Chains A and B, each alone.
Chain A
């Protein structure tokens, strides 16, 4: 007697667009849940995955180029994930479930869009001159390392701008940092802590100009200077750090967009099309603090979204708790950390607790008695406590409330997607 084989389900085909952290996290999550699945990552870049967050360390010479990469090519095959590099996807056929590549096409059961973000080029004259760089990809890093300059103007003082300035300063450049708004790091620090960071930047030899608008990048083929509304700076290098925008590529017009310009996703990272998920910088998820749509553009959020998107694509329901800002900047001995929202962004019912200790400074932002943000300068200890409190939406009255009792740490965080037993926790719902 022969035993009839059971109806074996064909292994599912997963296609991940983009080889950034969101893409590889999604692919890894799928692999952990589905050992048989065919997983393909399609990337426009030629490299294995790398971390743009450590690019400043590479440019300043602190770490070698290899250290920027977080994966190697053998890592992919070890996990049985196929990586196709330097291939551009150009169209999507959602009815036939096919993705059209530059040469050929590929069928998918589930598609994950993790195309990331690209730098915003500000609408000023002269951004195409030689010596103007953006600061996102490893190619940017390579070309900045190859470039021989002496004076640099960094336009925009977000974390990228500040870190680029410091990296170039360490390379021996004379650096000018120009910000349009009234303070540096305007999205993650309030006025007083920002002024402390500004002083530290000035002490390390960086010329910081706030409330200054760049009008034009001067020069012929090469950069010769920058003209702002206040002065004319002679320079040979310009870094554009004016922000990032979602890289939607061909999916623009196919997938519904949010009001901030990202791909609109629900809390399971699903898009407007069935079986298509989006995660990472290109997705517009909700904020953990107030539930409003937000473009997070931060590494750890992308990683978290990747896991959520991958799990849901593999058929395990998992929800994304929301994006949260956790950013750190280190300026010549001054360590500044910002977690959550800042005072300037939220308007209603704000309460601010300021604590000073020797050289340290801390600013807690409470909205309706719930901790929503912390900014800390030179005061590292216990910061994890605040992060935990924000994630748990802990009610706080005084600063001591939070530091003396740690009972809230015992409350489990149901939605944290980095649990070890991904399979088991997920199947429990």
Chain B
């Protein structure tokens, strides 16, 4: 079996263009609506956690379903509507079963589950059946869909670059 893939987001590359959000809502709702997108880009200003340089004080972060290994949504659902897809590993809402009680929203620690008031049902990121549109349309390469065993690579890359910067700065301040 192929290794399951996961969404990987690198805030360093995100420009906040919202292409992913647009693609998500268009693909999944048939209409472009920022509020109906299953992926969200949040803008941080000033207090960026992952500050790379001193000038860099605007950063974007991505909020989306993490397809948890220990999903509260699955555990709280009274209608057994949240299921794990065996192929993609995504947590899928079965709309034939969902009654719209929103207990999964109560349980989700990320706020990544949406309620569709028209259908009176829950919608969440289901990885577009294994081919996430947000990744396809990501303009800057911040979003990637990587096998689990490679998911750490962007992070390692970023840390390595930060270390190089720090070393460079340290050698400037205190020449050996």
The answer for the CA separation of A296 and B96 in the assembled complex, in Å, is: 28
State whether B109 touches A409 (Cβ < 8 A): yes
State whether A385 touches B80 (Cβ < 8 A): no
State whether A299 touches B106 (Cβ < 8 A): no
State whether A67 touches B99 (Cβ < 8 A): yes
- If A380-B105, A384-B110, A409-B109 touch, whether A418 touches B78 (CB-CB below 8 Å) is no
The answer for the CA separation of A416 and B110 in the assembled complex, in Å, is: 18
The answer for the CA separation of A337 and B76 in the assembled complex, in Å, is: 13
State whether A300 touches B76 (Cβ < 8 A): yes
For chain A residues 299-318, which have a beta carbon within 8 Å of chain B? 299-300, 303-304
Q: Which residues of A contact B110 (CB under 8 A)?
A: 384
Chain A CB within 8 A of B154 CB: no
Chain B CB within 8 A of A387 CB: yes
Q: Which residues of A contact B80 (CB under 8 A)?
A: 21, 51, 70-71
Majority-rule SS of A interface residues: mixed
State whether A387 touches B106 (Cβ < 8 A): yes
Q: A384's contact among B84, B108, B120, by CB below 8 Å, is which? A: B108
- Segment at the interface with A among B6-14, B15-23, B29-37, B67-75: B67-75
For chain B residues 97-114, which have a beta carbon within 8 Å of chain A? 97, 99, 101-103, 105-111
- If A337-B106, A381-B111, A387-B109 touch, whether A303 touches B75 (CB-CB below 8 Å) is yes
State whether A51 touches B70 (Cβ < 8 A): no
Chain A CB within 8 A of B79 CB: yes
State whether B107 touches A419 (Cβ < 8 A): no
State whether A53 touches B79 (Cβ < 8 A): yes
- If A387-B109, A419-B69 touch, whether A335 touches B78 (CB-CB below 8 Å) is no
State whether A387 touches B79 (Cβ < 8 A): no
Q: A387's contact among B71, B107, B111, by CB below 8 Å, is which? A: B107
Q: Which residues of A contact B101 (CB under 8 A)?
A: 53-54, 57, 328, 330
Chain B CB within 8 A of A37 CB: no
Shortest distance from the beta carbon of B69 to any chain A beta carbon, whole Å: 5
In this complex, the interface size class of chain A, counting residues with CB under 8 Å from chain B, is 35 or more
State whether B111 touches A300 (Cβ < 8 A): no
- For B76, the closest partner residue in chain A by CB is A300
Chain B CB within 8 A of A326 CB: yes
Q: Which residues of B contact A62 (CB under 8 A)?
A: 99, 120
State whether A54 touches B106 (Cβ < 8 A): no
In this complex, the interface size class of chain B, counting residues with CB under 8 Å from chain A, is 20 to 34
Q: Which residues of A contact B74 (CB under 8 A)?
A: 418
- If A384-B109, A384-B111, A387-B109 touch, whether A54 touches B78 (CB-CB below 8 Å) is yes
Majority-rule SS of B interface residues: loop
State whether B103 touches A420 (Cβ < 8 A): no
For chain A residues 197-217, which have a beta carbon within 8 Å of chain B? none
Contact with A along B98-135 (1 / 0, CB 8 A): 01011101111111000000001000000000000000
Contact with B along A5-34 (1 / 0, CB 8 A): 000000000000000010000000000000
The answer for the CA separation of A67 and B94 in the assembled complex, in Å, is: 11
- If A54-B101, A63-B99, A299-B78 touch, whether A326 touches B107 (CB-CB below 8 Å) is yes
Q: B78's contact among A53, A383, A409, by CB below 8 Å, is which? A: A53
For chain B residues 30-54, which have a beta carbon within 8 Å of chain A? none
Q: Which residues of B contact A387 (CB under 8 A)?
A: 72, 106-107, 109
- Name the residue among A53, A71, A406 with the largest chain B CB count within 10 angstroms: A53
Shortest distance from the beta carbon of B153 to any chain A beta carbon, whole Å: 20
State whether A328 touches B103 (Cβ < 8 A): yes
Q: Which residues of B contact A121 (CB under 8 A)?
A: none
State whether A413 touches B70 (Cβ < 8 A): yes
Chain B CB within 8 A of A398 CB: no
Q: Which residues of B contact A406 (CB under 8 A)?
A: 109
Shortest distance from the beta carbon of B125 to any chain A beta carbon, whole Å: 15
- For B106, the closest partner residue in chain A by CB is A383
State whether A385 touches B75 (Cβ < 8 A): no
Chain B CB within 8 A of A382 CB: yes
Contact with B along A322-360 (1 / 0, CB 8 A): 000010101000010101000000000000000000000
For chain A residues 404-424, which have a beta carbon within 8 Å of chain B? 406, 409, 413, 416, 418-421
The answer for the CA separation of A57 and B99 in the assembled complex, in Å, is: 8
State whether B96 touches A418 (Cβ < 8 A): no
3 smallest CB-CB distances across A and B, nearest first, come from: A53-B78, A384-B109, A70-B80
Known contacts A57-B99, A418-B71; 11 additional CB pairs below 8 A are: A54-B79, A62-B99, A70-B80, A330-B101, A330-B102, A383-B107, A384-B72, A384-B111, A388-B109, A416-B75, A419-B70
17 contacts between A and B (CB under 8 A): A51-B78, A54-B78, A57-B99, A62-B120, A63-B99, A300-B75, A326-B103, A330-B101, A335-B102, A337-B106, A383-B106, A384-B107, A384-B110, A385-B109, A387-B109, A406-B109, A420-B69
